[in-house]
Amino acid sequence: MPELEAIIFDVDGTLADTERDGHRVAFNAAFADAGLDWEWSVPLYGELLRVTGGKERIQTYVAEHRPDFAPPQSLAGFIRELHGRKTEHYKRMMQTGAIGLRPGVMRLLMEARDAGVRLAIATTTTPENVTALLAAAPVPGLADWFEVIAAGDVVPAKKPAPDIFELALQRLDLPAAACVAVEDSDNGVRSALGAGLSALLVTVSSYTERQDFSGAALVLDGLGEPGAPPRVLDGTCAGAAAAVLDANGCVDLAVLRALHGCVHRAAAG
């Protein structure tokens, strides 16, 4: 039976609920800077989130909603510059502490670190966005707690492709069976499962609660905090993990170990 040695976290939607009030607002600010009359409303952004990666998302928006747009240079170059502006806006917003970590995240990170469980990140977002978010957290130097930060364009294909989780595993030098992954979206679930990370916890976020998380070991509405337990929504190991969750009241390391054990006992038949 493999030991739980590392936890690999997604960022957007998982460590923090950044999409609606963070990324979306930063995209709109960049559009305004460029003199474009593009405005991504909350529902439109929800639709566009099926495309991972900001540059890819802008490209899809242009193709579907602005087919007659004539960029002043190559479309790829224009999108790259526009996206650069978006990243600057996003980082500034994070620096002001606009969006904090989700409830339970800091508690779980501290417990894992104290127990010697290694921490990693696998995300589609631009690396600078991750460091800006973590730099604004209440614990100084939080980014350094993560031994591996696999982010953005470093892989050929973004989620739902498995590449970014595979890269995180490679950098950790661990097999998937030694890890638990934490995600919030259907694209993230497909990516993690594709990399063999079957011990997969989903904490749904504001945009993802109605998505399909088939194959995830446990689906919750959050990590919860003592006195404020999360709601169990689904999962192949929901029964096994829910007993520990009921006893401990929120997602802690014992819940992750129960989930990891359940998945690997089932795999061993």
Q: Are 119 and 6 in contact (CB under 8 A)?
A: yes
Q: Which two tokens stand for residue 96?
A: 């002001």
Q: Is 263 exposed, middle or buried (0-12, 13-18, 19+ CB in 10 A)?
A: buried
List 6, 7, 8, 11, residue binding ligand XBP (CB under 6 A): 11
- Residue 242's alpha-carbon distances to 25, 74, 88, 208, in angstroms, are 37, 53, 42, 22
List 6, 10, 23, 104, residue binding Mg ion (CB under 5 A): 10
SS3 181: strand
Residue 198 binds which entry of ligand XBP, Mg ion, none, CB below 5-8 Å type-dependent: none
- Tell me: does residue 10 bind ligand XBP (CB under 6 A): yes
Residue 189 CB, shortest distance to Mg ion, in Å, is 10
The length of the chain in residues reads 269
- Tell me: does residue 222 bind Mg ion (CB under 5 A): no
Residue 227 CB, shortest distance to Mg ion, in Å, is 27
- Tell me: does residue 22 bind ligand XBP (CB under 6 A): no
Residue 236 binds which entry of Mg ion, ligand XBP, none, CB below 5-8 Å type-dependent: none
Return the residues of window 193-222 that contact ligand XBP according to CB under 6 A.
Answer: none
- Residue 42's alpha-carbon distances to 21, 104, 230, in angstroms, are 9, 26, 25
Q: Answer yes or no: 33 catalytic.
A: no
List 6, 7, 8, 12, residue binding Mg ion (CB under 5 A): 12
List 124, 198, 208, 211, residue binding ligand XBP (CB under 6 A): 124
Closest by Cα among 259, 122, 104 to 185: 122
SS3 198: coil
Q: Cβ closer to ligand XBP: 13 or 162?
A: 13
- How many other C-beta atoms are found inside a 10 Å radius of the C-beta of residue 44? 14
Contacts of 233 (CB under 8 A, 6+ apart): 204, 219, 220, 221
List 13, 54, 152, 160, residue binding Mg ion (CB under 5 A): 13
Could you tell me which stretch among 9-17, 102-110, 194-202, 215-223 binds ligand XBP (CB under 6 A)?
Answer: 9-17
Residue closest to ligand XBP (Cβ): 54
Concatenating the DSSP letter of every residue in 17-38 gives: --IIIIIHHHHHHHHHHTT---
Q: Answer yes or no: 12 catalytic.
A: yes
List 159, 190, 257, 260, residue binding ligand XBP (CB under 6 A): 159
Query: Checking DSSP bridges between strand 218-220 and strand 232-234, what pairing results, if any?
Result: antiparallel
Residue 255 CB, shortest distance to Mg ion, in Å, is 20
Residue 19 CB, shortest distance to Mg ion, in Å, is 8
**Residues belonging to the active site:** 10, 12
List residues binding Mg ion (CB under 5 A): 10, 12-13, 184-185, 188
